[in-house]
Structure 1
Amino acid sequence: MRFLLALCAFSLLPADLAAQEPTTPALRLLIVVRDADTQAPLAGANVAVGNELRTTNVDGRALFSDLAPGEQEIAAAFLGYTATDTTLVLSRSSRVTFLLPPEAVALDAINVEADKFNAARLQRSGFYERRDTRSGTFKTIEELEEAGAIRFSDIFRGVTGLRIESQFGQTRITSTRRRDCSPAVFFDGVAARGLAMQLDTVPLDGVLAVEIYKGPAEVPAEFSADINQTQCGAILVWTRAR
């Protein structure tokens, strides 16, 4: 799916500070996230620069300060939109605008009961077959509700091999094997880069089922081939019809 990325450089440092010309100047990066179709700002979008995480404000903006010059990995994700990432060589304080296209959801039929459609969706996705034949942790919404899950991150509590980290109102899932490594996340079979850093933005009532694979050996080939982030496992999220 397409995405647009606009980059423009601007000075965020006062003139008197810029004139000092420090040996290794601290740079700033302003990230703006908008709807690619309407240009409306996306408030609450998840953005990352390296290992630093932010959530956009009501204007769809997030500011990163004290960045070192050089190559930076940046990413933006928002539920219902195509997540994306890119590499930026930062030489001065800059602004990046992500234009995220909405994800289209095609229903096979309109006049069907939601429960029947959801069961058929899981059947087509291969959820039941993988649950019967593969290693991994598989949970349906009924099982999550019985377990008392309230937030999306509650799904992963008690799952060996995963660590839940909460800091500054943000919840991140990482591997116990590598603290700086998060599982890849897929929504309805589509990779959502960077979403493991802020999973509690996902509404639990929209989840139909979840598959959790804790290492690369467990990840099904059709997903491990999609992106190169599955060395720390993968989380497959299937959403319910409304």
Structure 2
Amino acid sequence: MSETHLVGSVLRAGRLAGGACLCAMALASLAGAQEASAFGGIRGVIRDTTGQSLAGVQITIRGASLVAETDLDGRFELGKIRPGMLSLRFRRLGFRPDTVDLLVLGGTVVPLDVTLERLAVSLTPVVVRGRTELTGWRQGFYQRRESGGGHFFTREDIEKRNPSLMTDMFRMIPGVTIQPSQGIIRNQLRFRGQRGCAPLTWLDGSPLAAGEFDMDALSPGSIEAFEVYTGSTAPPRFAVAPGIGPRTCGVIVIWSREGQRRPRRPPPVSAASQIAKLVDERQIFTAAQVDVTARQDTTRPVKPIYPDALYDAHVSGSVMVEFIVAATGEVDSERISVVFASHPLFADAVRNALEHAMYVPAVRGGLPVHQVVQHEFVFVPDSSRRRRG
């Protein structure tokens, strides 16, 4: 065969192969389109009668094992549903269940809005009024922060910067110099050009040392808040330390965390589903199933801390959470489910407050028992204070 005939044969074979490939792609695309049009979907949002979006609502299809759950915005989506009439059931503890029948067509997504009716609430909502009810070191910290004169950092600030070392938090403070050293203290803090003079450091209200303290000996994760005074503006309480005397080289005041909070990992099954399953199995009870319902312990009230960013911006809001009060009065911190939240930071504040909270347990048949409760927390900013810039 000549070279010309050989090239022509190859070209013809290539065209045939290319045509076959295009046909195969077209058939695959057509099959995919037909498969997609063979199914439908449902996309919706679930609210209560006040218009509040509900999280953790379970959605099931009668006769099928498919289960979905609403997110924090009350939204859900079901895909690859065979066309036809369906019966959807919506369930959330604390709300009256509802069933909706609807027709799903192939190749379409059906929009759906559902409203669930709230059942009776046994617990009085907790109102967080700005920072008027703060106690302990937080009360003084935020009062000094409002007055100014220093630099103030909270847990939110530390997490936002995510420093490797504690001294990294000082790099952005005006008037602070970090001096590398070959000694035991690798990073020495100096304020306002005071090269040979170390600042006085306090931890939880007590002075740390007469000499210099190694700030990097503290883990950033162990600090809840800290204050820095680079000049002579330190409050009188911290300007002079017993046995040390006055210090003119600046002051650092550190407040440690009350118990290291465990990192939260998303469980394979949501807290709302776990709690509903425990109720179905009669391992825990609802308010309607006990003789005396669980309630707040007035001697140890739950007091969430108003999130700094929302407090400074005068943002109000509310959160309702669902959790288990054990027969001991302790809160099961592994199963705290958000029913609704106007802002995720409010939900985080309530979760943190509940980790070490105590309630008066429910009573059934004369004995304390586990009960699922839903408790609302309302955050109201202080209208008399100025907005921080």
Q: TM-score range by the shorter chain?
A: 0.3 to 0.5
> Under a length normalisation based on structure 2, what TM-score does the superposition of the two structures give?
0.30
Higher fraction of helix:
2
> Under a length normalisation based on structure 1, what TM-score does the superposition of the two structures give?
0.47
